Amino acid sequence: MSTITLNNGFEMPVIGLGLWRLEKEELRNTILNAIKLGYRHFDAAAHYKTEVDVGNAIAEAIQSGLVKREELFITSKVWNSDHGHVVEACKNSLKKLQLDYLDLYLVHYPLATKHNGVGATASLLDENKVLDIDVTVSLETTWHDMEKTVDLGLVRSIGLSNYELFLTRDCLSYAKIKPQVSQFETHPYFQRESLVRFCKKHGVIPMAHTPLGGATANVKAFGSISPLEDPILLALAKKYQKSVAQIALRWNLERDTPVIPKSSKVERLKENLEVLNFKLEKEDIELINTIDKKFRTTLPSLSWGVDVYA
């Protein structure tokens, strides 16, 4: 598995398995199958409500000799409602995942919301059915608490998730430990080249969640448009004799942006790993660069009652 070096010297696999929206009953087989295929990077989060199931699968893989803990790269994230309780939330995730440390711990969103118990991860709404945002906890405070998880040996690397350029810059100004990674939605229809370049300039690895634009899942959930139907990507898939998804994933890897696509199907898991086996020609990368629609496909505002990207 190809890796990329973080600014603290640790290595991170450039392809991981995103665990968002995977059903509990399919997690065990999906994770074990992924490990057998060569996956070592798994992207979990407290808010996914599956850390116990993920932990059971990882423990089984380790105990059976399928993989060693030191070969794995496990990510989790602190949810909005735990911004004032970062260390406790991290310990809670570690307990559920049955791990002594996390390879990467992310601030899931740059947004503190009403606390409702460590690890409970609810998105509580106010009397107007709008997300109950907590304005008493600053992002600077949250970040310094993230740094404490490193100091305590709970976490090796820390980073951001769903941060825009302004807030990324802000974090860099007060960080004692610079973010190692910034994870955000990016794909051929939402390229965010300025954010990618800014992160790389300042030693922060950009990582693509939703690297396929959420495919059919986001079309159903948010009414978004999938880039996998784009005629240019379809033509390139035919040219390289690859799937459209492989072309989209390879495009992100070509700009040194690791990806965490989600799938529970063995053939898709295998297909996603195979993007390491080919490269896109320069003119084809430039062609994909022309289809950016600045189109975000993950829209939490539909359930939160407020556009947090306003």
Q: Which CATH number fits the domain that encloses residue 186?
A: 3.20.20.100
pLDDT digits (tens, 9 = 90+) for 9-20: 999 999 999 999
What are the pLDDT digits (tens) for 230-273? 999 999 999 999 999 999 999 999 999 999 999 999 999 999 99
246 is a domain residue: no
108 is in an annotated binding site: yes
Look at residue 85 and tell me if it is in a domain. yes
Q: Report CA-CA distances (Å) from 47 to 52, 127, 247.
A: 12, 23, 30
Containing structural domain, residue 85: 3-223+257-263+293-300
- Domain annotation covers residue 72: yes
Per-residue pLDDT at 166 exceeds 60: yes
At 175, the pLDDT band (50, 70, 90 cuts) reads very high
Angle at 49 between CA 48 and CA 50, to 5 degrees: 90
Residue 27 belongs to some domain of the structure: yes
Q: Which of 48, 109, 163, 189 is catalytic?
A: 48
Tens-place pLDDT, residues 41-53: 999 999 999 999 9
Write the pLDDT tens digit of every residue in 118-134. Answer: 999 989 999 999 999 99
Confirm whether 196 is domain-assigned.
yes
* CA pseudo-torsion sign 114, 120, 121, 123: negative
> What is the total count of domains within the chain?
1
The residue written with tokens 């509580």 in the block is 124
Tell me 11's DSSP state: E
pLDDT-based confidence at 222, cuts 50/70/90?
low
pLDDT digits (tens, 9 = 90+) for 84-131: 999 999 999 999 999 999 999 999 999 999 999 999 998 999 999 999
Enter the DSSP assignment of 83: T
Q: Coil, strand or helix: which one is 52?
A: helix
For the cut 80, the answer to whether the pLDDT of residue 305 exceeds it is yes
DSSP string, 181-222: EEEEE-BTTB--HHHHHHHHHTT-EEEEESTTTTHHHHHHHH
Instruction: Calculate the alpha carbon distances from 45 to 94, 238, 258, 283, 302 in Å.
Output: 11, 36, 18, 37, 20
What's the Cα-to-Cα distance from 52 to each of 12, 24, 62, 125, rounded to whole Å? 23, 9, 15, 26
Q: Does some domain include residue 238?
A: no
Q: What is the pLDDT of residue 217?
A: 56
Q: Is residue 279 part of a domain?
A: no
Q: Which residues contact 276 (CB under 8 A, 6 or more apart)?
A: 1, 2, 14, 15, 253
Band (pLDDT 50/70/90 cuts) for residue 37 is very high
pLDDT band at 223 (very low <50, low <70, confident <90, very high): low
pTM: 0.95
- Please tell me the distance from the alpha carbon of residue 141 to that of residue 272, in angstroms, as a whole number: 38
Does residue 154 belong to any structural domain of this protein? yes
Q: In the beta sheet, which residues pair with residue 83?
A: none
The per-residue pLDDT for 225 is 77
Report percent pLDDT > 90 for the chain.
88
Q: Based on the residue annotation, tell me whether 48 is a catalytic residue of this protein.
A: yes
